[in-house]
């Protein structure tokens, strides 16, 4: 028998989504005739646009006309060029900085393996997407929490302690809020001053509509010296089931390998060559189609629908007397509630059949909130809103 990573015991017990799933299964078992209104979902609910389907199918057909084997580990040039053209035109990011991946989760895990275990200190927002904390716990890192609080508009404040790197995310899951240009500039300046690295999760960048919210951290001057950005086709283009993303590792990002300064990207390439052999050709073709004018138009239409659902959910709850955040540049609404978020989650599930995610599941500072998601099919929206209007504001709400 082999010894397993002892840190696994600290994450597996607290893992959020299986707990929610179990609560749902238990409810359904005891109430087989009751419908659940699922506002907990963080996955897409609209079908893949036809132009993207065609891109993937044509990629497969091409493979029937000529052998297309292992692709370049950093991804095909046609897709990297297109990503640069569509997203990074007015930034210092060049094609060589762009690496095609199978999505953000895998890329963040891959970056983590490049960093020396145990002796790094990492700052993590609270509440936040659970991956950052779970992964850092698994790697035995010292974690400094960055509370996201209503009084600070859910903007993380740089820590007083020395940290080596920080996970930032904007727009954010679960708060649904986003960091303005000024807030991001504050972080870039901090990273420069303290020689720290920023790992910037931009999973929801496709939803940004506010003009003072940057779509990439590289809109901030100097960010290319301190930030690695993780992007995905998952939410912006409906690729959660296909798996495609891209990571930006600017050439100027460096680390020490045996005390010698090396560029991060070359180390990433060594690791990728050991670990995997690139992302499938048809999927990269699908990504390329998604970035053509027709694909971009279809994606925007879908994202607008999710945002419309989020803002209708927010509006409805506010009309009921709740205080809500997010829902403008992100499809999540963070609703302030009285008391424990797990109690409120259970109350909504058992009394109104509304499934949410308790804020506490995303971290200590998520307590007192639940997350509701706009990732629902537009046809279900009217029924969902009707159900939300039934919530007893007197017993539940808090302003």
Q: How is residue 235 written in tokens?
A: 């939410």
Tokens coding 199: 């790992």
Count of C-beta atoms within a 10 Å radius of residue 394: 7
By beta-carbon proximity to ligand PLP, the closer residue of 198 and 396 is 198
CB of residue 231 to ligand PLP, shortest distance in Å: 8
Strands 254-257 and 245-248: unpaired
124, 203, 303, 384: residue in contact with ligand PLP (rule CB under 6 A)? 203
Candidates 40, 42, 75, 361: give the one binding ligand PLP (CB under 6 A). 42
What does the alpha-carbon distance between residue 366 and residue 178 come to, in Å, rounded to a whole number?
16
Select from 310, 312, 396 the least CA-distant residue to 349: 396
Candidates 40, 73, 75, 103: give the one binding ligand PLP (CB under 6 A).
Answer: 103
Question: ∠ CA 50-333-29 to the nearest 5 degrees?
Answer: 80
Is beta strand 332-336 parallel, antiparallel or unpaired with respect to 254-257? unpaired
Scanning residues 291 to 320, which ones bind ligand PLP (CB under 6 A)? none
Peptide bond into 10 cis (omega under 30): no
232 binds ligand PLP per the rule CB under 6 A = yes
Is 228 among the residues that bind ligand PLP (CB under 6 A)? Answer: no
Closer of 322 and 362 to ligand PLP (Cβ): 362
- C-beta of 131 vs 391, nearer to ligand PLP: 131
- Pick between residue 197 and residue 242 the one whose CB is nearest to ligand PLP: 242
Q: Which residues contact 63 (CB under 8 A, 6 or more apart)?
A: 281, 282
Member of 104, 220, 236, 299 binding ligand PLP (CB under 6 A): 104
Span near ligand PLP by CB under 6 A; candidates 90-98, 101-109, 294-302, 383-391: 101-109
Q: How far is 159 from 260, CA to CA, in rounded Å?
A: 28
Q: Interaction with ligand PLP in 155-184: which residues (CB under 6 A)?
A: 169, 173
Binding mask 108-147 for ligand PLP (x = CB under 6 A): ---------------------x------------------
Rounded to whole angstroms, how far apart are CA atoms 217 and 229? 7
Contact region for ligand PLP (CB under 6 A) — 98-106, 257-265, 272-280, 311-319?
A: 98-106
Q: Give which of 163, 153, 157, 128 is closest to 213, Cα–Cα.
A: 153
Minimum distance between the CB of residue 319 and ligand PLP, rounded to whole angstroms? 28
Q: Of 43 and 304, which CB lies nearer to ligand PLP in the complex structure?
A: 43
Burial of 327 (0-12, 13-18, 19+ CB in 10 A): buried
Pick the stretch among 14-22, 97-105, 212-220, 320-328 that binds ligand PLP (CB under 6 A).
97-105
Element (H, E) at 231: strand 227-232
Instruction: Please give the backbone phi and psi of residue 21, each rounded to the nearest 5 degrees, phi first.
Output: -60, -45
How far does CA 222 lie from the centroid of its chain? Answer: 23
Among 201, 226, 246, 317, which residue sits at the site for ligand PLP (rule: CB under 6 A)?
Answer: 201
Token couple for 195:
């020689």
Task: Tell whether residue 75 is a contact of ligand PLP (CB under 6 A).
Answer: no
Complex with ligand PLP: residue 101 or 137, whichever CB lies closer: 101
> 215 or 347, CB closer to ligand PLP?
215
Q: What is the CA radius of gyration of the chain?
A: 21
The distance from CA 200 to its chain's CA centroid, rounded to whole angstroms, is 10
Q: Which of 318, 306, 327 lies closest to 375, judged by CA?
A: 306
Q: Please compute, for residue 274, the number of CA atoms within 13 A of its CA located in the half-sphere on the CB side.
A: 8
Binding ligand PLP (rule: CB under 6 A), the pick from 51, 105, 265, 316 is 105
Site size toward ligand PLP, by CB under 6 A: 13
Nearest distance, CB of residue 107 and ligand PLP, angstroms: 8
Contact string 241-270 vs ligand PLP (x = CB under 6 A): ----x-------------------------
Query: Which of 104/396 has CB closer to ligand PLP?
Result: 104
Cβ proximity to ligand PLP, 176 vs 368, nearer residue: 176
CB of 102 to ligand PLP, least distance (A): 8
3-class secondary-structure state, position 186: helix
Whether residue 2 contacts residue 132, with contact meaning beta carbons closer than 8 Å, is answered with no
Chain residues binding ligand PLP by CB under 6 A are 42, 103-105, 129, 169, 173, 201, 203, 232, 234, 240, 245
């Amino acid at each position: 028998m082999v010894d397993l990573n002892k840190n696994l015991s600290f994450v597996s017990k607290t893992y959020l989504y299986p707990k929610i799933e179990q609560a749902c299964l238990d409810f359904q078992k005891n109430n087989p005739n009751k419908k659940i209104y699922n506002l907990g979902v963080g996955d897409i609910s609209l079908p893949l646009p036809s132009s993207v389907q065609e891109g993937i199918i044509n990629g497969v057909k091409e493979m029937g006309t000529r052998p297309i084997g292992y692709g370049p580990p950093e991804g095909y040039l046609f897709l990297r060029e297109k990503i640069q053209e569509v997203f990074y035109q007015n930034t210092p990011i060049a094609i060589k900085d762009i690496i095609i991946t199978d999505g953000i989760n895998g890329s963040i895990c891959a970056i983590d393996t490049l960093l020396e275990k145990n002796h790094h200190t990492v700052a993590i927002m609270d509440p936040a997407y659970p991956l950052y904390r779970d992964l850092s716990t698994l790697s035995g890192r010292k974690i400094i929490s960055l509370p996201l609080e209503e009084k600070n508009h859910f903007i993380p404040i740089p820590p007083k302690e020395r940290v080596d790197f920080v996970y930032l995310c904007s727009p954010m899951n679960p708060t649904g809020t986003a960091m303005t240009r000024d807030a991001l500039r504050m972080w870039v300046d901090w990273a420069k001053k303290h020689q720290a690295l920023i790992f910037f999760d931009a999973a929801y960048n496709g939803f940004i509509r506010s003009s003072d919210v940057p779509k990439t951290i590289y809109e901030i001057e100097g960010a290319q010296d301190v930030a690695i950005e993780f992007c995905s086709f998952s939410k912006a283009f409906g690729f959660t089931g296909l798996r495609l993303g891209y990571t930006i590792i600017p050439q100027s990002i460096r680390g020490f390998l045996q005390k010698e300064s090396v560029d991060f990207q070359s180390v990433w390439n060594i690791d990728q060559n050991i670990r995997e052999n690139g992302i499938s050709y048809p999927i990269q073709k699908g990504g390329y189609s998604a970035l053509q004018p027709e694909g971009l138009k279809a994606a925007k239409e879908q994202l607008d629908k999710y945002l419309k659902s989020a803002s209708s959910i927010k509006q409805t709850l506010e009309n009921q007397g709740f205080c809500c955040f997010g829902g403008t540049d992100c499809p999540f609404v963070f609703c302030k509630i009285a008391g424990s978020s797990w109690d409120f989650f259970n109350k909504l599930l058992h009394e109104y059949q509304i499934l949410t995610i308790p804020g506490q599941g995303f971290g200590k500072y998520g307590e007192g909130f639940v997350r509701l998601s706009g990732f629902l099919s537009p046809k279900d929206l009217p029924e969902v809103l009707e159900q939300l209007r039934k919530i007893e504001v007197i017993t539940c709400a808090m302003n």
